[in-house]
Chain A
């Protein structure tokens, strides 16, 4: 009996120590890390289209957005651009609120509500963000794509959208329910929307994007630098990023 007890103690301490760093793993480093480096090879039926759209967007970026944002930056002060970005962001509050609630993230939903109330009033229609700077209320970005992901809906095939860039089937379909909650949208509904026709909507959206890009207009170039093959590079980054957002 006594022997058995000591054997037990010995076993436990052995387990404790062996996990301490007395590496017993094989010499082959690659095998040791193999489990961490697994990347699923997803079915990519639209890859031919996606490649074309990736280079279209890339050209659009290099020959349109970069010169336009450079010019815009030279004329409009950074503080003003940040405020415009804040104001657009504030308008998307209903999207974030509803999707936080859909995912039962009630604390985040109430924090978002607090942010909207404070920033729309004290923050002058969302131009400033006193909710974060003065009240330490953080933003909790959630969209319908994340809501679907939260309930286990897979991403589906990757789709590169014109202008908006990398997306997938789940996230592309999710644009529709989110657009109903967006005040910028142009479709007729019972409440006020900022735009009345699709061309107004497109112009507003284009301006929003330009202003947003202008705040960090070499970000894309910095990301692109590490690409050997732009399409799979951006595709994989997007899917990893979305997966991590959904897990949060």
Chain B
């Protein structure tokens, strides 16, 4: 009887131990994320900066948090494996630039909104989703930031990296994947890259 009890205590303590580590990890990530947002807002409110200086500073803050390269690969899905190494390299470069430009232009419309983390979901040990509300005076926008933890921490990158964001239920990555797939049905990968170039 005593042994059974001992085992139960052992199992329970193991369980609590693992749960604790998971919870700490989530809180650390949340704090880290909110600090980043604070830094960005601070840059946005600094009047002395020109628009391009401001955007560069914001990208510098954001870059370690995003795995843009992974996003580029995922946006092509199965097609990624079929293109040449040269195209792969060029595609990643252009995609990363496109993401940065897109973010910079979106942040231009900042009007004092606040970011609140409403929920943290951990579906797998190496995946955390931060569910946030972008709150302005008259409405709030639900944005989910999806993080993963690479097996080995990457140079100049955070431990947890964003690989997708969902805005009002619309995933940036899925939308890109869908439009690229459709585009590539009738056109080539180099035409897709030209289209990126034309936009910027």
Contacts and interface: CB of A to CB of B under 8 A. Distances in A.
A222 B106 contact: yes
A5 interface: yes
B125 interface: yes
A223 to B, nearest CB: 10
B66 interface: no
B169 A241 contact: yes
A30 B102 contact: no
Interface string B53-95: 0000000000000000010011001001100000000000000
Interface residues of B, number: 52
A190 interface: no
A227 B126 CA distance: 31
Interface in A212-248: 218, 222, 225-229, 231-233, 235-237, 240-241, 243-245, 247
Contacts of A33: 70, 74, 148, 163
Given A33-B74, A39-B177, A21 B126 contact: yes
A13 B11 CA distance: 7
A189 interface: no
B73 A13 contact: no
A17 B73 contact: no
A198 interface: no
Given A20-B21, A233-B179, A244-B169, A39 B174 contact: yes
A232 B178 contact: yes
Residue from A23, A34, A243, A245 having most chain B Cβ neighbours under 10 A: A23
B70 A29 contact: yes
B180 interface: yes
A226 B102 contact: yes
Interface stretch (B28-36, B39-47, B113-121, B191-199): B191-199
A9 B170 contact: no
Contacts of B163: 33
A39 B170 contact: no
Given A30-B73, A82-B138, A233-B175, A228 B18 contact: no
B175 A240 contact: yes
Interface in A27-69: 29-30, 33-34, 36-37, 39, 41
Interface of B: 3-4, 7, 10-11, 14-15, 17-18, 21-22, 70, 73-74, 77, 80-81, 98, 102, 105-106, 109, 124-126, 138, 148-149, 151, 163-164, 166, 168-183, 192, 195-196, 199
5 contacts: A16-B15, A20-B21, A20-B125, A39-B177, A226-B175
